[in-house]
Structure 1
Amino acid sequence: MNHPHRSVKHELQLHPDAPAGEAVRLILQNLLEVMEANEEGTLSAGDPEFLHDFRVAVRRTRSALSQIKEVLSGPVLERFRPEFAWLGEITGPTRDLDVFLLRLDAYRGSLPAEFRDALQPLGRFLEVRQRAEQSRLAGELGSLRYRQLKKDWASFLAGAGAQEDPPAAVRPVAEIAARRISKVLRRALREGRDIAEDSPPEDLHELRKTCKKLRYLLEFFQSLYPPRKIAPPIRALKGLQDNLGDFQDLQVQSGALERFAEQMAAEEEVPPRTLLTMGMLIEGLQHRQRMARKEFTDQFATFSRKKNLRLFEELFAGAEPSAKEKPMGDCLKGKSEDKPKEGAYQCDKCGAVSEKKKHLCNPEKMSSKDVRKIEKKGKKAKGK
């Protein structure tokens, strides 16, 4: 039986003056409809695109709950954020195996002709595990927990204007969108500029996640902006995302193939030629990852060129500061009064560090990774 699947589309037309809470509910309702449209196909395990589109809707929902949380109440976030994280977890293994099975032909095509048949044991290994994971996923999506989540989520989305909505929910959506996009854009630019030739892969991974958040925000709210102005920076961002995604994906693929080889060798007798061929694949993937790393500088330069930054500034510069974001005049303006340490705050605009939030115009709590980045940057500056 064929089931029509539905991809995430950005066809919502939001009015700039609409209350942000109502606009976000419309976005989330659209994503729920995509999930439901792909649910039956996901359970039938026929076309892997159903699960892919289901997961995209879940991932975007999680991003909205995280990135636009100021218009949603605390109880709503506490109830639904863990549940959508659970949905991401239970659908991940099946999708990962789907992707590997889809890549098998490309893997074979990348090998010399005499080695292609040696991948047959890998194909059988993946098929057995994919069927097991698909069965487990079907059980989870048939569970009371999932049915209750859908029921409660639909009920929440139908309750526009609920009394528990925070004050930001009645603010114009254009104001909330511009403010949030500006903040994530600043973070992406700062993270990208901090990446050097010797930066670890984790730094590129963090930038990839930030760019994904920015892309989702731009697509959630793109109907608020002139298409001719919003399209170019989105295209440039997509190019950077593709590069970062390739870099991360190639690393994941090579690591997964190493694990598969170990599991296959531990569970059954595997022809040495198969393990040799998998090693050849891993070497090829690692080479492609190194090439993607070399391309990063050009991709980031394209994204952050002056033309795109002017467009971003024109579109989003009118954003008013949030409740915790004060005018720049009240900030330390780049002059840190405390040493960087985990739990201290760093201004998202000027980079100043302080243990007191009130001394910064846009404070962000620092993680241990943020501290390491600052220390590394300081060492490089001293070495020059």
Structure 2
Amino acid sequence: MGRPAANFSSKINVQLDPSQNARQALAIILLQLLTTLKVNLDGTCADLDSEFLHDFRVAVRRTRSALSQLKGILPAAELAPFREDFSWLGTITGPTRDLDVYLLKFDAYRRRLPPHQHKDLDPFQFFLRQRQKKEHQTLAAELSGPRFTGLLTRWQLLLEGQLHSDAALPDAKRTAKEVADQRIWKLYKSCLKEGAAITAESPAEALHELRKTCKKLRYLLEFFQSLYTSKSMATLVKALKGLQDNLGDFQDYQVQGEAMLSFGMEMAEDKQAPPATLLAMGTLAGSLLHQQQQTREEFDYRFQSFCQKKNRQLFQKLFGTTGRMKEVAQ
């Protein structure tokens, strides 16, 4: 487990020209993400390694984020069916990936329990493996079907056409850096506003919404990183990642804790687990949900670290001037 596709990195690595128009830049970014999908397709369908599906899903999420955050650059009417298709891809790949994660973390789950309960989780591990095989078979059939193969062909044709056609939309004619400055600045301000509004009494949903906003910002920073100095971008991504890790852990502990309880109920109903296994799963769920609360208590520190003066000044220096000018013009 954990091996990437041979000789291929799923990291965004496009060299953009600051003076090229936004339409060409976006098409280049989306074509690289399409390449990532294709490179990881066979490994995903064959279930060779969980990393193939992981990288496949990241490419899908990045594509959806680009279509959402970079509107007004490619023709909306032409993109509409693709938005629906990429949403469908996110949905059908989710169950298998979730089960992959549970299996990857299973040794860590055992360590959360007293030694005498470790073997009690064996029936649960068997349950997860069987469920993962079933979900993967369903996924592989979908990825071999006409909807997905047609999507790949149509998407590539559209993007390659955008590389060479005239930019018709106003934002499409602007330079890539102008658009990047404005969109990144806008998302950065949203992160600050959403995070500052979170208090000890805020519901979990507030942290989940901030997590999604941070992820959108991270993707934009990655898409356009070649337009800025590598040292500055590395500093900002590192600062953002510290906050993202906290918010991601908070979400994961909640989802996994609740999943343990749900799986336990299902296994009990189907008589697939002895009482000792159900007891161990309940203990594990409690441990995960307790860890979620501890993670919640670390949020203020992580957010203040992200908001510190040197980071604010760097965001301002790189993106603030163009971003504010665009806001005034609107």
Structure 1 length as normaliser, TM-score?
Answer: 0.82
Q: C-alpha distance in 2, partners of 1:185/1:107?
A: 36
Q: Measure, in 1, the Cα distance between the counterparts of 2:122 and 2:266.
A: 15
Change (3 A) 1:289 1:320: closer
* Structure 1 residues not aligned, in runs of 5+: 328-360, 362-384
- 1:213 equivalent to 2:216? Answer yes
Structure 2: gaps of 5 or more residues? none
**How far does residue 10 in structure 1 lie from its aligned partner after superposition?**
2.7
C-alpha deviation, 1:253, in angstroms: 0.3
Aligned to 1:358: none
Asked if the contact 1:21–1:165 (Cα under 8 Å) also holds between the matched residues in 2, the reply is no
| Aligned residue number for residue 240 of structure 1 | 243
Q: Which runs of 4+ in 1 moved over 2 A?
A: 2-7, 161-165, 320-323
Deviation at 1:162, TM superposition (A): 2.8
Deviation at 1:3? 6.1
Give the secondary-structure state (helix, strand or coil) at the position aligned to 1:180.
Answer: helix
Alignment partner of 1:231 out of 229, 234, 239: 234
Asked if the contact 2:167/2:173 (under 8 Å) is kept, the reply is no
Instruction: Map 1:153-168 to 2 at 5 A.
Output: 153-159=155-161, 160-163=163-166, 165-168=168-171
CA deviation profile, 1:180-218 (whole Å, cap 9, x unmatched): 001011111000000001000000000000000000001
Q: Which residue, 116, 120, 126 being the options, matches 1:114?
A: 116
Deviations 1:285-341 (A, max 9, x none): 111111110100000000011110000000012215688x445xxxxxxxxxxxxxx
2:11 equivalent in structure 1: 9
Whether 2:271 is the aligned partner of 1:271: answer: no
The residue aligned with 2:54 is 52
- What is the total number of aligned residue pairs between the two structures? 326
Residue 289 of structure 1 aligns with an amino acid whose one-letter code is: Q
SS at match of 1:195: coil
Matches within 5 A, 1:17-56: 17-56=19-58
| Corresponding residue of 2:140 | 138
**Is the contact between residue 23 and residue 167 of structure 2 (CA under 8 Å) also seen in structure 1?**
no
Paired-residue identity, %: 49
How far does residue 66 in structure 1 lie from its aligned partner after superposition?
0.5
Cα shift at 1:110: 2.0
Aligned equivalent of 2:103, options 101, 104, 126: 101
Give the equivalent residue in structure 2 for 1:286.
289
- Does structure 2 conserve the Cα–Cα contact (< 8 Å) formed by 1:7 and 1:53? no
- CA deviation after TM superposition for structure 1 residue 5, in Å: 6.9
Paired AA for residue 19 in structure 2: D
Please say if residues 124 and 273 of structure 2, whose CA atoms lie closer than 8 Å, have aligned partners that are also in contact: no
**Which residue number corresponds to residue 303 of structure 1?**
306
Task: Report the secondary structure of 1:279's partner residue.
Answer: helix
Question: How far has the Cα of 1:270 moved from its partner?
Answer: 2.0
The partner residue of 1:126 within 115, 125, 128 is: 128
Cα deviation for residue 161 of structure 1 reads 3.8
Query: Which protein has greater RCO, CA pairs closer than 8 Å, 6+ apart?
Result: 2
Q: 1:7 to 1:25 in 2, by over 3 A?
A: same
Amino acid of the residue matched to residue 214 of structure 1?
L
Partner of 1:382: none
Shift in alpha-carbon separation, 1:81–1:322, aligned structure 2, 3 A: farther
